[in-house]
Structure 1
Amino acid sequence: MNKNKKHFALNEPLRHACHAKPMTRRDFIAQGFMAGVGTVCSGSILSLFANPGKAYASLSPDLEALKSSCGIASQGAGKIPFIVFDLAGGANIAGSNVLVGGRGGQLDFLSTAGYSKLGIPGDMVPPIANPTTGLSDFINTELGLAFHADSAFLRGIQDKFSITNRANVNGAVIPARSENDTGNNPHNPMYGINKVGADGSLLTLIGSRNSDSGGNSMAPAMMIDPSKRPTKIDRPSDVTGLVDTGDLVGLLSQQDSVAVMESIQRISAMKLGKVNSQITTDDVLKDMVNCGYVKSADITDRFGDPSTLNPSLDSDLVGDNGIFSAQEFASEGEFQKTASMLKLVVNGYAGAGTITMGGFDYHTSDRATGESRDLRAGRCMGACLEYAARKGVPLMMYVCSDGSVASNGMIDDSLNGRGKGVWSGDNSSTAASFFLVYNPNGTPQLIGNTTDQQAKHQQIGYMRSDASVETASSPAANNVNLLVETVILNYMALHGEQGQFASLFPRHGLGNSALLDSLTAFEPIVSGVM
């Protein structure tokens, strides 16, 4: 039977006899009919004129002092960069990737039948101990958060994330139901992340989809701020096209261009200072004109050389010593999308970003199809962690999906099936989300004085022994809006600001302060503003 089993190629669309034909954009994304771009776009035309060898000009002190009053954000606004992976279609997260257990945490093991439903056969379940070592061969905790040792997510992360940097990562998992195959799950927390202070010096929010959330899943309606709608970024040309300093940089050097704009600003300020009664809205007009020149000078100062924004020219991202080789970057649109997002978010040009990856509705009666897509997603996750490590900045990475899948116990013994259970159908009760935190200053520390206490902060909520989410185990377990609130609470806690959660979200549904503490995973890794 295995010889005749159909496995889908990595970018092949998934056609399900049990599903209606895809009609909406979200249907196409979930079944893999729409994915990332497949070609590398060259830099903008400004690269013909700007001199890449020129050193950055420094904005003069008098104009530097005006930046904050003109609303020009500092690099990253002093908050931890935040990236969402939105796996469209209902990916497997619990069990075969991140371990999920009972009341006691990840290692409070489920039943063998429960693990089978999560795609793990009896000879690979986490409780099995190696008779030689007395330890399980199927549990990997090198990222702090416990993964199944053969997790495709984990193998992908390990492929891109260097061994020396893995000790500075920890994470938490949240067992939480969400509906299958729909973008109506309000999984996306980016508006809330912005509300608590995340911002960029160039953009506030970005996403790889042209949607209100920037991703496949919606954002909670009560958090949406139309003025902060994410800018679509899913390829290098989207990044390089963000800034246009005009022909001035072509006619003059970058340094001289900044000097000219500074002079224009000062002359304009002197002229406006002599204007009083002629303009009715005098002060407003002065401010708009004055700040316009300050912003232009600042943009030219930082981005007059467009290569500074081009992810394909960043040697930490692409090349012989880069996270992606030139060949794999050229041939894989999801890597281009991820690199473009990383360039903006990790460097503080944007406050937070969403990477939507399609084709995760992979209940195709085999295992190989899902494994290959999980592996690629894992490589993109590993790239995020590695790039943050290379830049020496913290990062919070959140992974979610609309619904999940389950196995009927049949085994796929093909090379890529790896002897695991086939995904036979959608199952919202096996769903979970997780987040990983990178801290350049050391391992993020779980809350709690004992191992047992820490285990309950690393897994927020729990599953029943049959691998179904216990819906009463946390506010997030059966309410996606509250799942988003839980993620935002944990982001604030990394800054030591969880005490402000109730005032910023006065209508939240997470309960009193004692319950908020139980929903928080980590001690702060930064103090307020970095």
Structure 2
Amino acid sequence: MKKTIRTFSKKYTVGASAKTDHGGMGGKNGADADAPLFHQDHGRPVTRRDFLAQGFTAGMGAVVGGSVLSMLAGSSKAHASLSSDLEALKAGCGIATQGAGKIPFIVFDLAGGANIAGSNVLIGGRGGQMDFLSTQGYSRQGLPGDMVPSIANPMAGMSDFINNELGLAFHADSAFLRGIQEKLAVGNRANVNGAVIPARSENDTGNNPHNPMYGINRAGSDGSLLTLIGSRNSDSGGSSMAPAMLIDPGKRPTKVDRPSDVTGLVDTGDLVGLLSQEDAVSVMESVQRISDMKLNRVDTKINSDADLKELVRCGYVKSADIADRFGDPSSLNPELDPNIVGENGIFTQEEFDGDREFQKTASVMKLVMNGFAGAGTIAMGGYDYHTGNRSSGEVRDLRAGKCMGAVLEYAARVGVPVMMYVVSDGSVASNGMIDDSEFGRGKGVWTGDNSSTAASFFMVYNPNGTPQLIGGTPEEQAVSQQIGYMRSDGSVETSATPAANNVNLLVETVILNYLALHGEQGRMRTLFPQTGLGNAALMDSLTAFEPIVNGVIGA
């Protein structure tokens, strides 16, 4: 059965085979989100990164773990039911507060050079997103003249092509936006806001040090099971590199490819299974008390007697704690979480089973949002999509948007904040030719790489209300929401901010904004003494939001 939909001034017919909602659609004109991209102007893919960028291989899920002892550490409000005497011992045994009291942080690393500016997130001149560019500038960013945001509807007195529903202004037909809206409930959208950073980066290379994960960890982010998570077996956990000065070799990512790998992070032993979870915890608590009584009667005659006893005592406490928190398989398994998969879940069972990107996103957000990991990277391949059409990019951007919306919606469902950062290596541009196909949606064809149109953006969900932009007037807030600006021709003004032409400083700008959400931007120079972001006044101009008060896990 077919139906005709009207998108602005154009009609598109969607048939039963054009199932864009599930990310794995068949058909021509780039309608398959998993189809590899063939470029006449590129050499054959050689490196693993080349294969990921052009969609010849899927991105994978990865988890970054610390030592064996760190895997035993952690406390969970949701699962805490240990007896009060053992609960009192947990802090002394080094069992960390879940999430380390910091806002969960997730990166979407779109490998290959995705479009972000204009056709997805609006970027303007010095005055912010609504300081419109020229028609030629928007054409370069893939928007034809009859879809530019500066066109006002004479009946409504405002543009039909601007959507401010999420605080950050998107083009109304943005594929990112459509995907986010599909997964993020209407009632949760008011608690979202975001900021965009126009910034150049090189095209089609993993050498851009885009990934801020190590810096986020240095700012205090941590998990009760894992420090960081990432989607590739690389030093950054993603496709792009991490700045060399931030890398901590002891926290290098370890690959996790599917939800079963997540559940395999913890072994609760044979007792859980033979007994109910509650009974297993009770047995372990009793064993700890018996052991403690015996230890108090023993003198080992060695100098480190007290330390040895503490090590044994804490071993039993941690074992009981693990059974308490993870004896229920659904505590880690994203597929068993009704908020994620199922009739009332973010993903239907069919979507989840049929799309590895959804499985990967679910695994990462489950760990990060529940405080089991402090921060995570989701690398998605196939974003080198200048294939002589528009449809390939639209289909991939739509699926990425669904994954972004899933992260925001899951944060809302579990009641925690999140900072979500979206970045790509380089960008694309259009020469103005239009793709009027079903999936091209009447927009400009992506005809080549173009690093001058690049940008990144971040979004913040706060369960306690809308994240507030810095500034006492709407004009000041508009400048805070767009950190830097673009020239009228649609290219990045490289002198606007330190981040505009330096990827390392782009990473530092993101970390600064993460600290600012905690009211800790004053720690930037202490944590990163060699920062290139300048003095306190300049750092203030690079900060988007007021702190999120009482919005942190454990608060």
TM-score > 0.5 by shorter chain: yes
Separation in 1 of the partners of 2:500 and 2:80? 52
* Residue of 168, 188, 205 corresponding to 1:165: 188
d(CA) in 2 for partners of 1:211, 1:278: 48
| Correspondence for 1:44 | none
1:411 to 407, 416, 434: 434
CA–CA distance in 1 between the matches of 2:492 and 2:180? Answer: 26
Q: C-alpha distance in 1, partners of 2:314/2:491? A: 56
Amino acid at match of 1:23: V
Secondary structure of the corresponding residue to residue 204 of structure 1: strand
Identify which of 274, 299, 313 aligns with 1:251. Answer: 274
Structure 1 match to 2:39: 16
CA contact (8 A) 2:60 2:231 kept: no
* Equivalent runs, 1:126-525 vs 2, <5 Å: 126-273=149-296, 278-279=301-302, 281-525=304-548
Identity across aligned pairs (percent)? 77
- SS of equivalent to 1:477: helix
Q: Distance in 2 between matches of 1:226 and 1:69?
A: 27
Q: What's the TM-score once normalised by structure 1's chain length?
A: 0.92
Preserved contact between residue 469 and residue 477 of structure 2 (Cα < 8 Å): yes
Q: Tell me which amino acid in the other structure corresponds to 1:255.
A: E
Once the two structures are TM-superposed, the CA of residue 103 in structure 1 deviates from its matched residue by: 0.8
Aligned residues: 511
Give CA deviations for 1:128-152 in whole Å, capped at 9, x if unaligned: 1111112111111111101011100
Q: Tell me if structure 2 keeps the 8 A contact 1:178–1:403.
A: yes
Whether contact under 8 Å (1:316, 1:387) holds in the other structure is yes
Aligned equivalents of 1:458, 1:233: Cα separation in 2? 35
Alpha-carbon displacement from aligned partner over 1:236-290 (angstroms, at most 9, x marks no partner): 1121111111111122222232233233334444555566665465454444333
Deviation, structure 1 residue 36: 4.9
Residue pair 1:394, 1:438 contacting (<8 A) in 2 also:
yes
Alpha-carbon distance change, 234 to 435 in structure 1, aligned in 2, over 3 angstroms: farther
Alignment check: 8 A CA contact 2:123 2:482 kept: yes
Distance 1:56 1:137, change over 3 A: closer
The Cα RMSD (Å) is: 2.0
Q: Which residue is 1:52 aligned to?
A: none
SS in 2 for 1:490: helix
Unaligned stretches of 5+ in structure 2?
1-26, 62-77
- Give the alignment partner of residue 34 of structure 1, picking from 57, 66, 74: 57
Counterpart-to-counterpart distance in 1, 2:370 and 2:97: 11
How many angstroms apart in 1 are the aligned matches of 2:358 and 2:134? 37
Change over 3 Å in CA distance of 1:57–1:277 after alignment to 2: closer
Q: Which moved more, 1:59-68 or 1:135-144?
A: 59-68
Deviations 1:96-152 (A, max 9, x none): 000011111111111111111101111111111111112111111111101011100
- Specify the SS of the correspondent of 2:159: coil
Report Cα offsets for 1:300-359 as digits up to 9, x if no partner: 111012122111111111111111111111111111111111111111111111111100
2:92 is aligned with 1:100: no
Residues 5 and 366 in structure 1, CA contact (< 8 A), matched pair in contact too: no
State whether residues 263 and 333 of structure 2, in contact with CA within 8 Å, keep that contact through their aligned partners in structure 1: yes
C-alpha contact (below 8 Å) 2:31/2:439 kept by paired residues: no
CA contact (8 A) 1:446 1:523 kept: yes
1:110·1:466 contact (CA, 8 Å) conserved in 2?
Answer: yes
Distance, in Å, in 2 between the alignment partners of 1:57 and 1:450 is 45
Structure 1: give runs of 5+ residues left out of the alignment.
Answer: 39-54
What is the SS of the residue equivalent to 2:169? Answer: strand
Three-state SS of the structure 2 residue aligned to 1:65 is helix
